[in-house]
Amino acid sequence: MTRITEILSSMDYGSAPEDTGIARDWLARHAGGFGHFIKGRFTAPADTFPVSNPATGEILAHVSQGGAEDVEAAVRAARAAQPKWAALPGHDRARHLYALARHLQQHARLLAVLETLNNGKPLRESRDVDLPLVIRHVYHHAGWAEVAAEAFPGAVPAGVCGQVIPWNFPLLMLAWKVAPALAAGNTVVLKPAEYTPLTALAFAEIAREAGLPKGVLNIVTGDGNTGAALTGHPGIDKVAFTGSTEVGRAIRRQTAGSGKGLTLELGGKSPFIVFADADLDAAVEGVVDSIWFNQGEVCCAGARILVAEAVAAPFEAALRRRMARLTVGDPLEKSTDIGAIVHPVQLERIRALVARGVAEGAVLHQGAAPAGCFYPPTLATGVEPASGLFTEEVFGPVATLTPFRTPAEAVELANNTRYGLAAAIWTENVSLALDIATQVRAGVVWVNSANVFDAAAPFGGLRESGFGREGGQEGMAGYLGLAAPRARRPEAVPPAPDALPVEGLPEVGIDRTAKLYIGGKQARPDGGYSYAVAGANGPVGLAALGSRKDIRNAVEAAQKAAAWAGQTGHARAQVLYYIAENLSARAGEFTERLRGFGAGAGAARAEVEAAIRRIFWYAAQADKISGRVPQTISGHLTLALREPLGVVGVACPLAAPLLGFVSAVLPLIAAGNRVVALPSQLHPLAATDLYQVFDTSDLPGGVVNIVTGARDALARTLAEHDDVDAMWYFGAAEGIRMVEEASAGNLKQTWAEDGAARDWAGPQGQGAAFLERATQVKTVWLPFGA
């Protein structure tokens, strides 16, 4: 007979498999195959493909491969339903979502078992993590539907949303996408992942049962081609995608210039930093919850463990002991820690990446895993920062372990990645934790915790982890917006600047060429060329013809001015006030300059006056840009901090050469960004006259850099530049497409709009919307309590 002491030492549990009856009954009801869910009903199954259980290989169902015509039908249904859904009072939409949440709660067991059968994740996770989060998300957003009109005054829904989700959290990702979209008054066409469409189809049935109006939610199943047909469909107003960086990049290119809103939640290779004073046992459990959660198929998993050298050996030993005790196997078994990898293709991908890591010198430590579509928990040591195992997203239960000596080295290693999704920081020293939290480049930071989520907390990344946030106020804002301004006469593409000599320049001293402004100094253009700036009565001066090299220099100068982001809002405000005062002192000169371009005396005076006021306004805002403390789960303080984007390229509109420049550049620097600005190509001298104003206003060199010349050629270089974090472009339609396409390289976020659409002198030219665009949210989780 087994003795209790033996059980305690082995901690083996008896078998306790989950009963799959309820999911089997549901599958049996659909034995004939699934069609798409369009306009409140399932279409006849057609062109089906099998969907299987990765743990056993058993075929669970047959699902239809959606073609262009299916996507078309779904988009049409969503379009037809959208005006009525949006016109419902928020309270009525809220009631629909409350009802949906209730029905999901009633069917939680079916959904959890189905998720585990189809995805391979342990039932314990689908039941205790995924489903509660799904339900919480729908309730939370029912609340947003109720209060959206007051919380987002004047905002309108995006329209019809095309949403494409991955296979790692099939139902949770659906809830993250569908709940805010519907709450905001949008209708949806969603494509689940090819491997894991079943809970989305069950969700559709449940939504129908809960009385969601027809056409509000549509699900089209299929593979990547179906996804591409959806994201490329001209009837879609907003695309929301979660998945790989590679596909995210393709979607960025595909949607360039289409006017579609876009949020991308992409891959990650997140650092998990353990300092010497951390509670090491807790940190070991943190790793279990991070990279060994959901088979490591988690975009924000702490895949790169960085540990202080002083505790690296005991930490590694403890981790390996813990790893050896993880149970890998039948996902339905309630004691299983790690289930099946979603598909043999993904298993092969993991194996190939690990094999490459070993070839590059990694030493593997692994737990046990049964035969089949399973992969053992793995710790890789001796991994060089340049190795593929350190840089590539594995999306499996594989972590690297790298020692560091100092906090500075930890930050350097943490930020040594193309990604920027999440980070975990383990230390008992709160000052150190917060110091590191501000330095790591990530959208989400967990202190002494990992993989904590809540519907009220914004989630999302930066750099190649994408842009946009899901959850909370920011997530809602992504599905709402003020109606974009429309140009009565769209901005034209300016003629190419002409570098040939001109006649009739006014007499203004020896060197009449306005230079570039780089790193706080006037700089001659690399090519040495200049172009004539036209005025009302012939040329009024020469401006430098900037080149790619000048842009690169300006970006480098802006990168070096990073200290600006660390200044207090008060300090930045002081500089901005000073700029406003100095511009004020020289208002007459600037008015004359604008008159030279052909503006009437009154209009020129008004533009200068408006520019001065605008600078004062952003100075006033500089110390008021603050985040929020969203209410999330108990025992956690969750901070939604607003951080600058970094280095931002700005292509200014042609008109309002002074006010347009000030309107775009000032909110960015007020928020702590550094800027490389391309002033109005036609009248750049209004901006180049600002050099002296900046020089006399204590603006640190490199915070504002100005490169004059051919706007679109220079904008392309900026949009392609990997050290530029965001791009604002106020120009013509062709340029918008070009900038959005070129931005796909490092997936920088863009704000591209017709330069003539805004009335720069009116309320549209200034406001909180600019400051919101100038910042991004970093969510920091701080647990408290014994």
Nearer to ligand NDP, 198 or 311 (CB): 198
User: At its nearest, how many Å lie between ligand NDP and the CB of residue 442?
Assistant: 14
772 binds ligand NDP (CB under 6 A): no
Burial class (CB in 10 A: 0-12, 13-18, 19+), 14: exposed
- Token representation of residue 445: 């930071």
Closer residue to ligand NDP (CB): 200 or 676: 200
Judged by CB under 6 A, the chain residues 270 through 299 that form the site for ligand NDP are 299
Residues 336-355 that bind ligand NDP (CB under 6 A): 346, 349
Site residues for ligand NDP, 536-555, by CB under 6 A, read none
Q: Count of residues binding ligand NDP (CB under 6 A)?
A: 26
Output phi, psi for 125, to 5 deg: -80, -45
Which of 157, 159, 166, 357 is close enough to bind ligand NDP by CB under 6 A?
166
Among 122, 157, 170, 243, binds ligand NDP (CB under 6 A): 243
Asked whether position 247 contacts ligand NDP by CB under 6 A, the answer is yes
Vertex 713: Cα angle to 708 and 718 (nearest 5): 80
Give the separation between CA 722 and CA 717, rounded to whole angstroms.
10
DSSP 628: B
Of 172 and 284, which has the nearer Cβ to ligand NDP? 172
Residue pair 377/328 in contact (Cβ under 8 Å)? The answer is: yes
Please give the DSSP secondary-structure letter assigned to residue 325. Answer: T
Residue type for 515, please? K
Is 708 a binding residue for ligand NDP by CB under 6 A? The answer is no
Can you state the angle between helices 224-231 and 245-255, rounded to 10 degrees? 30
Interface with ligand NDP includes 78 (CB under 6 A)? no
Contact in structure between 536 and 597 (CB atoms under 8 Å):
yes
Query: Minimal distance in Å, beta carbon 742 to ligand NDP?
Result: 19
Question: Longest C-alpha distance within the chain, in Å?
Answer: 107
- Please report, for residues 239, 530, 599, 739, the alpha-carbon distance to residue 538 in angstroms, rounded to integers and kept in the order given: 47, 16, 14, 32
Shortest Cβ 121–ligand NDP spacing (Å): 13
Between residues 192 and 329, which has the closer beta carbon with respect to ligand NDP?
192
Instruction: Name the minimum Å distance from CB 636 to ligand NDP.
Output: 23
Nearer to ligand NDP, 120 or 267 (CB): 267
Give the integer Cα–Cα distance in Å for 134 and 138: 6
Of 134 and 782, nearer to ligand NDP (C-beta) is 134
At 645, list the tokens.
Answer: 């984007």
- Residue 244 binds ligand NDP, judged by CB under 6 A: yes
Nearer to ligand NDP by C-beta: 45 or 569? 45
Tell whether residue 747 is a contact of ligand NDP (CB under 6 A). no
DSSP string spanning 443-499?
SEEEES--S---TTS-B---GGGEE--BSHHHHHHTTEEPPPP--SSPPPPPPPPP-
Separation between Cα atoms, residue 610 and residue 412, nearest integer Å: 43
- Which member of 224, 257, 407, 494 binds ligand NDP (CB under 6 A)? 224
C-beta of 251: minimal distance to ligand NDP in Å? 6
**Stretch in the footprint of ligand NDP (CB under 6 A) among 33-41, 159-167, 204-212, 382-390:** 159-167
Among 53, 116, 126, 168, binds ligand NDP (CB under 6 A): 168
Nearest distance from C-beta of residue 623 to ligand NDP, angstroms = 36
Nearest in space to 175 (alpha carbons), one of 238, 100, 275, 113: 100
Looking only at residues 298 through 317 of this chain, which bind ligand NDP when binding is defined by CB under 6 A?
A: 299
* Span interacting with ligand NDP, options 236-244, 326-334, 412-420, 447-455, rule CB under 6 A: 236-244
Position among 231, 295, 381, 749 found at the interface with ligand NDP (CB under 6 A): 231
Cβ closer to ligand NDP: 247 or 665? 247
Minimum CB–partner distance for residue 166 and ligand NDP (Å)? 3
Report residue 56 as tokens. Answer: 């056993």
> To the nearest 5 percent, what fractions of the chain are helix, strand and coil?
40, 20, 40
Stretch that binds ligand NDP, among 161-169, 303-311, 592-600, 711-719 (CB under 6 A): 161-169
Q: Which is nearer to ligand NDP, 353 or 715 (CB)?
A: 353
Q: Which stretch binds ligand NDP (CB under 6 A): 238-246, 301-309, 324-332, 587-595?
A: 238-246
Catalytic residues: 265, 299
Distance of alpha carbon 391 from alpha carbon 360, whole angstroms: 12
Q: Strand pairing partners for 423?
A: 445
- Give the shortest CB-375-to-ligand NDP separation in angstroms: 12
Q: Which of residues 182-221 bind ligand NDP (CB under 6 A)?
A: 191, 193-194
Give the nearest residue (CB) to ligand NDP.
Answer: 227
Interacting residue with ligand NDP among 86, 205, 208, 223 (CB under 6 A) = 223
Contact 627, 640 (CB under 8 A): yes
Burial pattern 457-471, b for ≥16 Cβ within 10 A else e, equals: bbbbbbbbbbbbbbb
Q: Phi and psi at residue 46, in whole multiples of 5°?
A: -155, 145
167 contacts ligand NDP (rule: CB under 6 A) = yes
Binding mask 377-416 for ligand NDP (x = CB under 6 A): ----------------x-x---------------------
The distance of closest approach from Cβ of residue 570 to ligand NDP in the complex, given in angstroms and rounded to an integer, is 38
DSSP letters, 134-201, are HHHHHHHHHHHHHHHHHHSTT-EE--EEEEE--SSSHHHHHHHHHHHHHHTT-EEEEE--SS--HHHH
Of 240-248, 543-551, 573-581, 631-639, which part binds ligand NDP (CB under 6 A)?
Answer: 240-248
Give 733-754 as a DSSP string.
HHHHHHHHHHTTTTT-EEEEEE
Residue 71 binds to ligand NDP (criterion: CB under 6 A): no
Distance CA 657, CA 7 (A): 78
3-state secondary structure of 330: coil
**Cβ atoms of 31 and 49 closer than 8 Å:** no
- The reply on whether position 251 binds ligand NDP by CB under 6 A is yes
C-beta of residue 283 within 8 angstroms of C-beta of residue 401: no
Closer residue to ligand NDP (CB): 349 or 512 = 349
Determine how many CB atoms are found less than 10 A away from the CB of residue 662: 30
Find the shortest distance in angstroms from Cβ 164 to ligand NDP: 4
227 contributes a contact to ligand NDP by CB under 6 A: yes
Instruction: Identify the DSSP state of 342.
Output: S
The C-alpha atoms of residue 285 and residue 266 are separated, in whole angstroms, by 26
Of 157, 267, 420, 478, the residue at the interface with ligand NDP (CB under 6 A) is 267
Q: Please report how close the Cβ of residue 343 comes to ligand NDP at its closest, in angstroms.
A: 8
The vertex-555 CA angle with 551 and 559, nearest 5°, equals 170
Q: Tell me the closest approach of the beta carbon of residue 111 to ligand NDP, in angstroms.
A: 19
Which of 80, 88, 147, 250 lies at the binding interface for ligand NDP (CB under 6 A)? 250
CB of 221 to ligand NDP, least distance (A): 9
Contact (CB, 8 A) for 693 and 723: no
- Residue closer to ligand NDP, measured from CB, 300 or 671: 300
Among 266, 437, 544, 576, binds ligand NDP (CB under 6 A): 266
Is the CB of residue 648 less than 8 Å from the CB of residue 739? Answer: no
Q: Which is nearer to ligand NDP, 50 or 490 (CB)?
A: 50
Q: Which of 164, 204, 414, 457 binds ligand NDP (CB under 6 A)?
A: 164
Instruction: List contacts with ligand NDP (CB under 6 A).
Output: 164-168, 191, 193-194, 223-224, 227-228, 231, 242-244, 247, 250-251, 266-267, 299, 346, 349, 393, 395
